[in-house]
Amino acid sequence: MCATKTVPEGQHKMAKGKWHSLKDTPLPGLLHTISLRQDPASVLDITRGMLKRKIYFKKGWPVNVVSNSLSDVFGRLLLEEGVISQETYEKTLEIMQKEKKKCGEVLISMGLISQKELYDYLILQLKKKIWKIFDWPDGNYNYFLIKGAMMADIQLLPQNPASIIIHGIVNGYYPFERIDTELGRFMDKPLIVSQNKPYNIEDLGFNIQQSRFLAKFDGADKASEVIKNSDLLHREATLLTYALLITAIISPKGESADVKEASEALKYEPQEEHGEEGIRKEKYEAKEKVDAELIFQNGKMHLAEKDYEKAVAEFEEIVRLNPNEGEYKAYLGWALFNNKSENIEMAMNFLLESLLMNPDMDVAYFFLARLYIKEGLVKEAEDALIKALEKNPFLSEARKELTLIKMRSASDVLKKGYVDYFHLTKNPFDLLPDPTFLYMGNAHSEALYFLVNGIKNGRSNITLLMGDKGSGKTTLCLKIMDKLADEKIVFIYIDSPLQSWLEILIAVKNELGIKTTADSAEDVLSVLYTHFSKYSAMKGRTIIILDEAHKLSINALMAVKRLLDSGVDNIVISGQPEIEGILNTSELKDIKQSITGAHHMHSLSLEETKEYILKRLEWVGSDGTLHITPWAIRTVHSASSGNPELINKICDNVFDLAKGKETSIIDEQIVKVIEEAMSKELYARLPQLEPVEERVEELFEEKIKKSIEEQIVRTVDDAIKREFDKRMVQFDTAVMLDEMAEKVKRFVNEQINNIAGDIVKNELDRRAAQLDIHAVLNEAAEKTGKLVNEQIINTVRDAVRDEVEGRITQRAAATASNEVLEKGEKPFEMKAEPIIIDRQMEKAIDNGFGQDMPQFNNTFVSFEAEKKQRFFEKSGSLLRILMLAIAVAALLGVIINYNIVQELGLFSTSHVAQTRQSKPVNLPKVKQPATETAPITAQPAPEAKAVLPEAAIEALPQGHEAVQPELKDTSGAQKLLSLTFEINKRKKETVSDGNILKVKKGDKIKILSVDAGDISSKDITVNLLGFIGDKNKNIGEDRGYPIDTAKDLWAKYSIDGKGRDYPIVIKHNGEKIGSVLLKISE
């Protein structure tokens, strides 16, 4: 924005054309020149737009600065420095207004600062008011002499002008581009300390390195050589050289500065100002500012509470009272837009007007950028955000918006037609990260808590965030900027796959908007160090987020250490799980040792997936007409494995398809169409295993299924054929149901047991080093049971159908031939068709033959009509018996499942969190065979301790004996006696086996020791499920680790899934000897 060239209205009446431009003489030069004049009392009046600064001098030294900008008031300075809180500031304003006191007086009376601290902060306020003018690209000034002495009640804080100039330049307040231009003509010249230097070096506050640097200007070397060979960083040496030249402390050899000539170079008005009158008016204006500031803070409070109507009323009142304050108009414009979006044009006018009044107002640029984004003016929004960050690098919300704009500009995301069709405000399933859409389920809440606390609680550390592709890591990283917006933090976000540490440093420099003449390692490190030091001096911090870090090379990751050494406070490394392996390389050993915390994000549960989808629709204005069925959500969760990005992709396509079908009901069928279309991508994105205490190895289902299927087919087929052959002579004789059941059961039971037992035993032997037999538990029982049931029923049905067809056809043909011969007729040509089992028959077989057996009609077999009746009279009873026998075999398959589970070594115990529990099997009551069932004798897998669940034993038919695998006699073995805990570092508590340790959420506990009698503690492991003690090598041993019950435990691994009950399992040489329950209350 260009500054106005007209003379602003103020307290001074000056002749037209008496103002001079800061472009010709920047403020550092003016301060030096005024100090050389040593006028008894004077004032430098500076304006830029509606901004005004008035610097008072006494004998050439600045003693006070008056500003019309609210950002310069004393309370705002203390708020910025973190001395007081927003609440304290508002309370202080109320007391100031009521008791007519100054801010410092009120704070001293409240005991918040001392008299000495008040003096120090007033000096800092004076310096900052001056330093802020250093980077004004334009503006006007006028210099006056004050008639008479200054008022006695004005507070004089004399400060060495050279110290203000030097520290302001070295701390980065003066534009570096300007320094490069102005210093260039001196770089090839030898410089020397001036003989008639106007300042005492001892008064400038140089440190040892700076003093040594000054001593090197002895005229022997060129300025460029002195800078290059300095112990200071290159950037600091360059800035200090320029400041020493400005203050005439050093000068070109043979060209010593002429103090008299420099003092006469100042352009000023010979007229004098009446200081008493001007200062009195400024004191009156200061009282008015207190009243205005109180109203302003109330308006900001309403704005934060989203009570936009009240905020508009407060800002309108303050603008009416103070029409020349740009900040008031900026907030009025923003409140008007938030109150009613149709006010966007009026809001934009207020913001542009405020920037004409105060071109340095960061928040006005930020508000304007938000309006540009709303209007789709991306380039304008980006420029405004860059301006906002130039004015205030701590404006984290602007950094977040700028990062989002860059992400969107690099993508090709198009607006889907269903957004308008379903009357939504925007795409609810946009694939680009958006912190405003962050669903705070367990996974993301835990991760955000972890990141925020890692940043708040430490400096010079590294935080590691890991998660699968699309798990929400980037959104979380951006959400941090929102969460810590009130903190004084400079955020730098890097997500480019850079390949060298220098490229990382250059990217950080560019994000900060720093320009350098060259991108050498020395120059970049130097400039970064200068900026980080500046932020630290301003009581701020620097946080760097390295997103997509798994794409970085080892060389690029070496930049992390250099950044920490340069003054970065925290670095967040975010990437897919493979980043952990990269950091384990020897080259990155130092970096890994600096990692103070690591977190692995897990996927969404079914319930969280439901909430995730419904929340997103709610956030974009869904009016409830869209209906998603529970099975549709279940299918989305199953297909996506709870991955947020995949959920978005599926839902985005599902809603697009629903729009095409013109339906507002999203059911399972629509989701399945999209799932099929995306099947390749979904398969490639299967989630990786999480680092939990005990991992469940994938069951080798396909191997078991294939072998069981082949063996069942052969076994059942052979058994039925042999039975048919044996009983053909008794074709019309009823077969005893119990005997048939016993034979079918024996064949199937023995074969299935041998097949399953051998396969599982071999597989477990092969995987002994990887798979814990206890991990297969209920899931194996459920899958194997279902598999065997299905195969028995299908195989028996097919085998019987084939055999019955063949046997009946042969029997019918033989019968018909015999009758013809008996009657003396010629044999007729058989016109029989293959046997056809009707739908009722198939249904009966599938259902296991219930009591309501369907009556066979004459479509069951097709012979000539005169032969049908005779056939059924002879064969009907046998067919009924065979079908009932098949039903018995199918039912016995359920019983066999328990034997298989038993032989697999499965038992009922606490299992790994999130392992699916098998559903209880409802066993039908079956007539007990007359003969005893042969027990299954297959041996369990090595080291498997198999115990049949009590519920299963109770469910077995009466008389059926459950055979248990042989177990070791442990009756004389030592058992757990007790565990000893430390709670909140204050008390110890001992809990015996099977009992409960009750604590409150947030308590800090530690497992100190275990007492198991004569068993050595070295052979015992104590494992708190849901907690990882050693994150580098999880061995299931959790003694000695501090445990924060509020943030160190994973709720999804608790017994109830809600973070209340956690089992602590104690094992001796891998065998459980006891347990204690950790119960956490709110």
Q: What is the pLDDT of residue 975?
A: 67
Contact 566, 529 (CB under 8 A): yes
Q: What is the pLDDT of residue 155?
A: 77
Q: Is the pLDDT at 979 greater than 50, yes or no?
A: yes
In whole angstroms, give the CA distance from residue 370 to residue 377.
10
Structure tokens at 213: 């640097």
In whole angstroms, give the CA distance from residue 291 to residue 720.
101
What residue type is 629 in one-letter code?
T
Contact 751, 759 (CB under 8 A): no
Among 706-720, 723-737, 913-927, the minimum mean pLDDT is found in 913-927
Q: What is the pLDDT of residue 710?
A: 63
Among 163-177, 428-442, 911-925, the minimum mean pLDDT is found in 911-925
Contact 381, 471 (CB under 8 A): no
Structure tokens at 872: 């059924």
Would you place residue 704 in the very low, low, confident or very high pLDDT band (cuts 50, 70, 90)? Answer: low
In whole angstroms, give the CA distance from residue 61 to residue 981.
66
Q: Where are the beta strands (DSSP E) in 585-658?
A: 595-600, 627-628
> Nearest to residue 355, comparing CAs of 380, 384, 381, 376?
384
* Chain centroid, CA 928 distance in Å: 60
Q: What is the pLDDT of residue 430?
A: 85
Using a 10 angstrom Cβ sphere, with 0-12 exposed, 13-18 middle and 19 or more buried, the burial of residue 588 is middle
The 3-state DSSP class for residue 43 equals strand
Q: What is the pLDDT of residue 690?
A: 40
Would you place residue 693 in the very low, low, confident or very high pLDDT band (cuts 50, 70, 90)? Answer: very low
Question: What single DSSP character describes residue 947?
Answer: B
Q: What is the pLDDT of residue 683?
A: 59
Q: What is the pLDDT of residue 421?
A: 85
Mean pLDDT of the chain: 74
**Helix 396-409, helix 378-391: angle, nearest 10:** 150
Mean pLDDT over residues 1060-1077, rounded?
Answer: 88
What residue type is 1021 in one-letter code?
T
What is the edge-to-edge ordering of all strands in the sheet holding 250-252?
A: 218-222, 190-193, 250-252
Mean pLDDT over residues 311-327, rounded?
Answer: 87
**pLDDT, tens digit (0-9, with 9 covering 90-100), for 543-557:** 999 999 999 989 999
In whole angstroms, give the CA distance from residue 985 to residue 478.
36
What residue type is 939 in one-letter code?
Q
DSSP 539-569: T-EEEEEETTGGGS-HHHHTHHHHHHHTT--
Using a 10 angstrom Cβ sphere, with 0-12 exposed, 13-18 middle and 19 or more buried, the burial of residue 791 is buried
Q: What is the pLDDT of residue 939?
A: 37
Query: What residues pair up with 1072 in beta bridges, in sequence order?
Result: 1067
Instruction: Name the pairing type of β-strands 1004-1011 and 978-983.
Output: antiparallel
Contact 517, 466 (CB under 8 A): no
Would you place residue 333 in the very low, low, confident or very high pLDDT band (cuts 50, 70, 90)? Answer: very high
**pLDDT, tens digit (0-9, with 9 covering 90-100), for 495-546:** 888 889 998 999 898 888 887 777 888 888 888 888 888 888 777 889 999 9
**pLDDT, tens digit (0-9, with 9 covering 90-100), for 596-610:** 888 898 889 999 999
Q: What is the pLDDT of residue 634?
A: 92
Q: Is the dihedral of CA 857, 860, 862, 863 positive or negative?
A: negative
Most confident listed range (328-337, 705-714, 830-839, 840-849): 328-337
Contact 628, 647 (CB under 8 A): no
DSSP 433-447: --GGG----HHHHHH
Most confident listed range (16-30, 720-734, 783-797): 16-30
Mean pLDDT over residues 730-738, rounded?
Answer: 47
Which one has a higher pLDDT value, 778 or 339? 339
Q: 396-411 burial, b if ≥16 CB within 10 A, otherwise e?
A: bbbbbbbbbbebbeee
Among 101-115, 244-258, 626-640, the minimum mean pLDDT is found in 244-258
Q: What is the pLDDT of residue 705?
A: 53
Q: Is the pLDDT at 810 greater than 70, yes or no?
A: no
Note the helical H segments in 733-864. 737-766, 777-823, 839-846
Residue 974 phi/psi, 5-degree rounding, is -70, 140
Structure tokens at 157: 């804080």
Contact 644, 447 (CB under 8 A): no
Mean pLDDT over residues 8-29, rounded?
Answer: 61
Q: Give the dihedral of Cα atoms 891, 893, 898, 903; nearest 10 deg.
A: 160
Among 69-83, 191-205, 574-588, 696-710, the minimum mean pLDDT is found in 696-710
Q: Which residues lie closer than 8 Å to 85 by C-beta, 6 or more apart? A: 79
**pLDDT, tens digit (0-9, with 9 covering 90-100), for 958-978:** 433 333 333 334 334 456 678
Would you place residue 165 in the very low, low, confident or very high pLDDT band (cuts 50, 70, 90)? Answer: very high
Mean pLDDT over residues 1046-1068, rounded?
Answer: 85
Residue with tokens 């023995």: 750
> Nearest to residue 12, comparing CAs of 43, 33, 39, 38?
43
Q: What is the pLDDT of residue 804?
A: 53
Contact 1007, 1023 (CB under 8 A): no
DSSP 251-278: EETT----HHHHHHT----S-EEEHHHH
Q: What is the pLDDT of residue 794?
A: 58
Mean pLDDT over residues 622-638, rounded?
Answer: 88
Q: Is the pLDDT at 252 greater than 60, yes or no?
A: yes
DSSP 1025-1070: TT--S-SSS--S--TT--EETTTSS-GGGSSSSSSSEEEEEEEETT
Q: What is the pLDDT of residue 485?
A: 87
Mean pLDDT over residues 200-215, rounded?
Answer: 89
DSSP 65-102: EEE--GGGSHHHHHHHTTSS-HHHHHHHHHHHHHHT--
Using a 10 angstrom Cβ sphere, with 0-12 exposed, 13-18 middle and 19 or more buried, the burial of residue 530 is buried
Query: What percentage of the chain exceeds 70 in pLDDT?
Result: 66
Q: Which residues lie closer than 8 Å to 586 by C-beta, 6 or more apart? A: none
Q: What is the pLDDT of residue 433?
A: 87
Would you place residue 243 in the very low, low, confident or very high pLDDT band (cuts 50, 70, 90)? Answer: very high
Mean pLDDT over residues 843-859, rounded?
Answer: 39
Mean pLDDT over residues 623-637, rounded?
Answer: 88
In whole angstroms, give the CA distance from residue 28 to residue 62.
12
159: left (phi over 0), alpha (psi -120 to 50) or beta: beta
Structure tokens at 241: 């050289």
Most confident listed range (73-87, 246-260, 845-859): 73-87
What residue type is 639 in one-letter code?
A
Contact 953, 814 (CB under 8 A): no
Q: What is the pLDDT of residue 528?
A: 87
Mean pLDDT over residues 899-911, rounded?
Answer: 38
Most confident listed range (83-87, 516-520, 718-722, 905-909): 83-87
Structure tokens at 913: 């969190």
**Helix 362-375, helix 396-409: angle, nearest 10:** 30
> Nearest to residue 569, comparing CAs of 450, 458, 451?
458
Q: What is the pLDDT of residue 763?
A: 52
**pLDDT, tens digit (0-9, with 9 covering 90-100), for 259-281:** 444 444 455 554 455 445 555 55
Q: What is the pLDDT of residue 567?
A: 87
Would you place residue 441 in the very low, low, confident or very high pLDDT band (cuts 50, 70, 90)? Answer: confident
Query: What residues pair up with 251 in beta bridges, in sequence order?
Result: 192
> Nearest to residue 401, comparing CAs of 390, 386, 414?
386
Would you place residue 773 in the very low, low, confident or very high pLDDT band (cuts 50, 70, 90)? Answer: very low
Q: Is the pLDDT at 133 greater than 70, yes or no?
A: yes
